[in-house]
Amino acid sequence: MHSGSGQRVIIVGAGPAGVFTALRLAATGGFQVTIMDKGRDLSHRSCPSIERNAGCVNCPTCSVISGWGGAGAFSDGKLTLSPEIGGHLGEYVGQEKLAGLLEEADRIYLQFGAPPRVYGEVTPEVEELIRKARMADLTMIPTRIRHLGTGYSKQVLAAMESHLRQLGVDIRMGVEVESILSRPAEGHGGSGPAKDAGQVPAEEVWGVRTAKGEEVPADYVVVAPGREGAEWLRGEAERLKIPLATNPVDIGVRVETAAEVLEHITSKVYEAKLIFYSKTFEDKVRTFCMCPHGEVVTENLDGLITVNGHSHAEIKTENTNFALLVSKTFTQPFKDPITYGKHIAGLANLLGGGVLVQRLGDLLTGHRSTEERIHKGTIRPTLHDATPGDLSLVLPYRYLQALVEMLQALDRIAPGIYSRNTLLYGVEVKFYSSRLQLSAELETPVRNLFATGDGAGVTRGLMQASASGLVVAEAIRKRAALALLPAACGHSRDRQ
């Protein structure tokens, strides 16, 4: 069943950007909304590696990062409420509007069961942490966070799915979209994509083609495939002649230590956003996805096994983990940072059959970690199928130097981080998809084709991805209303 009998909207991707687009349009009414995603429904998403506590079995479609809710369904579920963190959406809509969109998205999460507590409010204790970080050559960005936890994330997303189905949204899981269908736009006299703001687009979207060959027509198409679908979207953008800009790639390790080492920080802000510029090369290094009392987990990115972290809403471990990532933006002539990041991750897979783990002390003294060396340490690994190894055979010297210098700086505000027993898992990679040329409404040069979320290079986290869905939905709602005005007044529709 479709939501109404109005204009047809296809949303490619059931992550937060796609879900929030659907929530807004379904609430408005007057649209036939269809969501397509190659992954499984939430109730059928399961990871054999997690359930059996074994190595990755290379499922054809990874349930950890694909399916209803996107990668966020199995993530730590951090809703970052500060507009300074989480992507580039403010560059399109303005920081003031972004702040309002985040508040609106937050209210929607609360409506569907998100917990009320917010971490990271600026208090005198937090201000003291910021001061101490500055003295250690670190920049600490105060960040308000609502933490769902992996368990609550699924409950909230399930409630959203149920609500959308009740409103008549057609949700098609297990359906892979192969290509975006376009045709020459009415009123365009030339060829090639539109370049100037007032120019009539050369192409307009008219639907999608699935991997099984089905052509599904639509008045509007919203592509929100997440990071898992970033390469597919890049290929479609190149085919449709949509200009692209190269984003950075973040490569590093996941650090695991005793929870007590960071308790004085995580108890006040939950997740510390810390930035450091390495002394040797002045590369940017940052903390990411801090998981107090959490566990280290693996992800399958198109057959590559990388590392990540979770904190569950109820299950607690004795450890805290977080990512340390080095950001690099490549310039001419190289334009493929995703391939570079996959190559680095592939080296770890080649040497260890998956994720490598190494004690910091072994890395500093030039030793490969072994089961025996790790067992002698005070930190018990939460990722049991990581292979003890040597990260210096995987990560370039420049990255290793930056990571070690960052750990030394962190030790000044959290003594114990720069311990020989600290565990480093590699490789963690964050691909920040090529950014498509988009308008302030996140529309591509192809008329009525919108791109949003992490896969379009617009956002880097759950909240900005959710907010970007609201931006797209509002643009479609307004355009659909304008399209009806001439008909309502008895006039023919004018094309500009």
User: For position 255, what pLDDT does the model report?
Assistant: 98
User: For position 491, what pLDDT does the model report?
Assistant: 44
Question: What is the band of 71 on the pLDDT scale with cuts at 50, 70, 90?
Answer: confident
Whether 335 and 467 map to the same domain: the answer is no
Over residues 376-403, the pLDDT tens digits come to 999 999 999 999 999 999 999 999 999 9
Distance separating alpha carbons of residues 164 and 170, to the nearest angstrom: 8
pTM: 0.79
User: For position 6, what pLDDT does the model report?
Assistant: 81
User: For position 60, what pLDDT does the model report?
Assistant: 67
Lowest mean per-residue pLDDT among 50-59, 72-81, 293-302, 448-457: 50-59
> Within a domain: residue 277?
yes
Whether 314 and 332 map to the same domain: the answer is yes
Distance separating alpha carbons of residues 380 and 374, to the nearest angstrom: 8
> Within a domain: residue 149?
yes
> Within a domain: residue 284?
yes
Over residues 214-266, the pLDDT tens digits come to 999 999 999 999 888 888 998 999 999 999 887 778 999 999 999 999 999 99
> Within a domain: residue 185?
no
Q: Is pLDDT larger for residue 116 or for residue 197? A: 116
Size (the chain), residues: 496
In terms of residue numbers, what domain contains 60?
A: 7-118+144-176+434-483
User: For position 153, what pLDDT does the model report?
Assistant: 86
> Within a domain: residue 223?
no
> Within a domain: residue 355?
yes
- Of 416, 431, 446, the residue at which a domain comes to its end is 431
Kindly give the pairing relationship between strand 7-12 and strand 220-223: parallel
Over residues 39-59, the pLDDT tens digits come to 988 877 777 666 655 566 667
Judge whether residue 290 has pLDDT over 60: yes
Judge whether residue 314 has pLDDT over 50: yes
Whether 422 and 451 map to the same domain: the answer is no
Over residues 182-220, the pLDDT tens digits come to 999 876 544 444 444 445 578 999 999 999 999 999 999
Distance separating alpha carbons of residues 86 and 84, to the nearest angstrom: 7
Whether 359 and 457 map to the same domain: the answer is no
Whether 454 and 315 map to the same domain: the answer is no
Whether 262 and 169 map to the same domain: the answer is no
Whether 294 and 410 map to the same domain: the answer is yes
Whether 292 and 360 map to the same domain: the answer is yes
> Within a domain: residue 97?
yes
Q: Which H or E run contains 320?
A: strand 319-328
> Within a domain: residue 63?
yes
Q: Which H or E run contains 387?
A: strand 387-388
Whether 54 and 159 map to the same domain: the answer is yes
Closest listed residue to residue 406, CA positions, set 349, 301, 323: 323
User: For position 492, what pLDDT does the model report?
Assistant: 41
Whether 425 and 277 map to the same domain: the answer is yes
CATH assignment of the domain containing 471: 3.50.50.60
Q: Which H or E run contains 103?
A: helix 95-111
Task: Look at the chain and report how many structural domains it folds into.
Answer: 2
